[in-house]
């Protein structure tokens, strides 16, 4: 079927975190919401239909993930990424962030160090800090056009922690964002191999958050880190979900793929019986991975169109802003330093002058100051309205 992503659907009064919390999050009602990574598009029809059908049975008791769901996941990963996984490797979690917390607890002790690469999705920081671990930064390098991982810096971090005077290595894990939110990089096989090898060499567990892997802009190809070699797979925990791709985040269902028995056992033990997914989440995930290819193809086409529209508008009409062209995700990372505003002035400007609800760059950690993250996954008429608001506000500066 043909999906009409141009259609604006009113989401107000659906308890939408994105649309119904403006006063709480942005101190005013009239901002246009292009923030949190949640799309303003309906889920694929086969997903809606599968949920409707299951909802007709009026008992919603404790439910386990059926074999057919595992098969759907295995099929999706092989079909789309050539990654062959075994059923036993899959562990369900109530969301990727929930899974990351469990992984941090499984592979480290309070006081241990965990590496993240800012600017990056900010719950990575809280998953480390809220569990009493120490954050170590390996800053991404920005060459003015795109971001790169700093491998020399990463090796130096490990060396500084293991060289004379000898100390027990305290770096237990590295959290990778692949594709990278907010800077939009789709890491190459070479970059991921180098990263994986550094982790293998240093006995560091690689927590690879690949939630955005299906959302690729033209020309980009996602590489599953754990698919690179057996050695890298043995030290990697991969987090995936249908929640970004098919707009199902409210169903709180995702999964981890853990090929190594020992790592998997530790992860399952750390979960200690925690809830992991839900009945409608399982139904939706299975329908999405079985029947979602056509929706995804159309969605990617539309998101590419939104990106081109956004890039063109800003280049022609708001040239004081510079967009870092994303290779993946539906998020644009916009360099607003040309406006000459401090981080809090920029925040105020976007809310009060442009009347836009965006994500402040500084929330993504060091290197994010002066940037704003814009969610492009909305009908084009909304994107146009947002850009016109922004143009007018910038002209008035």
Ligand X SMILES: Cc1ncc(COP(=O)(O)O)c(C=O)c1O
The answer to whether 209 contacts ligand X (rule: CB under 6 A) is yes
Could you tell me how many residues of this chain bind ligand X (CB under 6 A)? 14
| Ranges within 120-139 binding ligand X (CB under 6 A) | 121
Is the separation of the CB atoms in 265 and 107 below 8 Å?
no
Q: Which residue lies nearer to ligand X by CB, 177 or 318?
A: 177
Is the separation of the CB atoms in 191 and 179 below 8 Å?
no
The answer to whether 276 contacts ligand X (rule: CB under 6 A) is no
What are the φ and ψ backbone dihedral angles of 304, each rounded to 5 degrees? -60, -40
Q: Which residue lies nearer to ligand X by CB, 202 or 277?
A: 277
Q: Residues 169-188 vs ligand X: string with x where CB under 6 A? A: --------x---x-------
Closest distance between ligand X and the C-beta of residue 395, in Å? 32
Closest distance between ligand X and the C-beta of residue 234, in Å? 23
Closest distance between ligand X and the C-beta of residue 250, in Å? 9
Residues 6+ apart with CB under 8 A from 71: none
Interface segment toward ligand X; rule CB under 6 A; list 89-97, 194-202, 229-237, 337-345: 89-97
The answer to whether 91 contacts ligand X (rule: CB under 6 A) is no
Closest distance between ligand X and the C-beta of residue 140, in Å? 14
Dist CA 187 CA 286 (whole Å):
27
Is the separation of the CB atoms in 199 and 235 below 8 Å?
yes
Q: Which residue lies nearer to ligand X by CB, 97 or 346?
A: 97
Dist CA 337 CA 343 (whole Å):
9
Residue 295 CA to its chain's centroid (Å):
20
| Ranges within 239-258 binding ligand X (CB under 6 A) | 241, 243, 249, 254
Antiparallel, parallel or unpaired: β 205-209 and 171-177: parallel
Dist CA 106 CA 99 (whole Å):
10
Q: Residues 333-372 vs ligand X: string with x where CB under 6 A? A: ----------------------------------------
Q: Which residue lies nearer to ligand X by CB, 176 or 323?
A: 176
Residues 6+ apart with CB under 8 A from 333: 119, 182, 183, 184, 323, 324, 326, 361, 371, 373
CA-based nearest residue to 201, from 146, 238, 154: 154
Interface segment toward ligand X; rule CB under 6 A; list 72-80, 90-98, 164-172, 367-375: 90-98
Q: Residues 34-73 vs ligand X: string with x where CB under 6 A? A: ---x------------------------------------
Interface segment toward ligand X; rule CB under 6 A; list 21-29, 91-99, 189-197, 314-322: 91-99
Residue 49 CA to its chain's centroid (Å):
26
Interface segment toward ligand X; rule CB under 6 A; list 95-103, 270-278, 302-310, 387-395: 95-103
Interface segment toward ligand X; rule CB under 6 A; list 48-56, 61-69, 71-79, 94-102: 94-102
What are the φ and ψ backbone dihedral angles of 136, each rounded to 5 degrees? -120, 130
* Count of helices and strands (H, E) across the chain: 13, 15
Strand partners, 302: none
The total of other beta-carbon atoms located within 10 Å of residue 390's CB is 28
**Applying CB under 6 A, which residues contact ligand X?**
37, 95-98, 121, 177, 181, 209, 211, 241, 243, 249, 254
């Amino acid at each position: 079927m043909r999906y009409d992503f141009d259609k604006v659907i009113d989401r107000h009064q659906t308890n939408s975190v994105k649309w119904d919390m403006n006063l709480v999050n942005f101190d005013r009602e009239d901002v246009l919401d292009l923030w949190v990574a949640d799309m303003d598009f309906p889920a694929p029809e086969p997903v809606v239909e599968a949920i409707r059908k299951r909802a007709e049975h009026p008992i919603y008791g404790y439910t386990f993930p059926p074999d057919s769901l595992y098969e759907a996941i295995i099929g999706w990963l092989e079909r789309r990424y050539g990654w062959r996984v075994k059923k036993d490797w899959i562990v369900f979690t109530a969301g990727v962030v929930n899974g990351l917390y469990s992984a941090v607890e499984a592979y480290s002790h309070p006081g241990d160090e965990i590496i993240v690469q800012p600017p990056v999705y900010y719950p990575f920081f809280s998953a480390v800090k809220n569990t009493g671990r120490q954050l170590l930064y390996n800053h991404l390098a920005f060459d003015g056009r795109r971001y790169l991982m700093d491998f020399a810096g990463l090796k130096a971090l490990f060396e500084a922690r293991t060289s004379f005077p000898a100390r027990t290595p305290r770096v237990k894990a590295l959290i990778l964002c692949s594709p990278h939110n907010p800077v939009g990089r789709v890491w190459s096989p070479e970059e991921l191999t180098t990263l994986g090898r550094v982790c293998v060499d240093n006995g560091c567990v690689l927590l690879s958050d690949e939630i955005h892997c299906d959302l690729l802009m033209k020309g980009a190809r996602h590489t599953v880190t754990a698919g690179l070699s057996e050695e890298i797979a043995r030290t990697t925990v991969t987090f995936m979900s249908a929640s970004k791709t098919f707009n199902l985040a409210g169903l709180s269902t995702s999964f981890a793929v853990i090929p190594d028995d020992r790592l998997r056992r530790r992860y399952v033990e750390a979960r200690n019986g925690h809830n992991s997914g839900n009945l409608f989440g399982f139904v939706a995930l299975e329908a999405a991975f079985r029947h979602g290819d056509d929706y995804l193809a159309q969605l990617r086409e539309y998101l590419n169109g939104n990106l081109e529209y956004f890039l063109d508008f800003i280049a022609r009409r708001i040239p004081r802003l510079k967009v870092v062209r994303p290779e993946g995700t539906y998020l644009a990372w916009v360099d607003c330093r040309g406006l000459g505003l401090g981080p809090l002035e920029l925040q105020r400007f976007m809310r009060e002058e442009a009347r836009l609800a965006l994500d402040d760059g500084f929330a993504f950690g060091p290197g994010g100051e002066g940037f704003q993250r814009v969610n492009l996954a909305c009908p084009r008429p909304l994107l146009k309205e947002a850009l016109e608001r922004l143009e007018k506000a910038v002209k008035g500066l």
